[in-house]
Structure 1
């Protein structure tokens, strides 16, 4: 099975595996959503099985909760644990300041709540997610279903005065129906191409009636772990101003693949 993984999946795996090395016994962890985070949950489960690591995970989506439970990772809710030591999650884009775009998996609301309720956030990503300026990936905005077309129009009107390259907005669909998030909301994707001032955009969007949250994560991420297809891993710490490179041996055990089709 390991030989069948593409270079990008290998990159995701080594980033996830390296990030789980930050996890210490007794920690309360935010568990992200997405393909890279799924690798992280598998690597975490392996440490639990092999080392007896004791952790409590707070999933950021129903599918992460289901995966964690199926692999034997103890899970709880944020209301029960109150505060987290660490959140490990992926990103759709990150810039040199570790500002992020998240929400490609439609879990941005729970992801942002969990990340901001943590002492530290580590982002795991393949090298393709690194950009000089955010915006090539569509920015997700979670909105309530009531009056969503009006909310969309207000977003488009607001974007006219902001430093973005494009202003196309689309409702995210699931087949022939609007995609519905875990919180029973809709997602409007903003195809901006370039975001000149992410901090300003994030603040302005959240003041529009009907908007629940946006996918810009500003001043939340502390460390990014960037995986490469050859096993190299770059660890960048924005607070310490450091960057180092490791090599993660790509040798997933059968346990990590045991429940994969």
Structure 2
């Protein structure tokens, strides 16, 4: 069996890639939707390469028996199968509060200015990044007096403070940065558990001079907060 280790590794890896792309939305935990075709092609290529490797190994095995010699790989090489098997059976979860809390706040290097008007009607659905940008940089104060609704997961601060948080990606989970909003007034019985997904509705509470750290993180006075399921795509896009 040792001679088939490389083929088995390729097959398992290809199968894991196809599992998270063709048969589920799990790939969205790691990359943007636009990369799905590339992953599918890669998964198919790995499976074909694994099958080809297995066939060639079988031929070598027959020839080796005919000539009475052959070389098998080291037993330890089978350990390489374990990561591929783990990806196939137990895909890692999306990044959450642990990743968000380890990262220092990173904001876009932009100046203050006038933002486009928000759509009419309340509440206005915004991403956390959109809310944060307007709260920190919009001299027109387009958020003032408007009711907004956002979805993210819970992270905790000091003294019972909690935040609605979302990770933003440009390409994949490896380049994720954090966007968060401090939530006030929605949880009289204490903050929700970390990593709980919530949809929060409320109004912006201005604070700090625009474009400075004093305005970060922005604050939302919440009128309602309800638990929701984690979306299929847990990341916001830049």
| TM-score normalized by the length of structure 1 | 0.21
Q: Which has the higher helix share?
A: 2
Relative CO higher for 1 or 2, CA cutoff 8 Å, sep ≥ 6?
1
Q: Which has the higher strand share?
A: 1
Larger Rg: 2
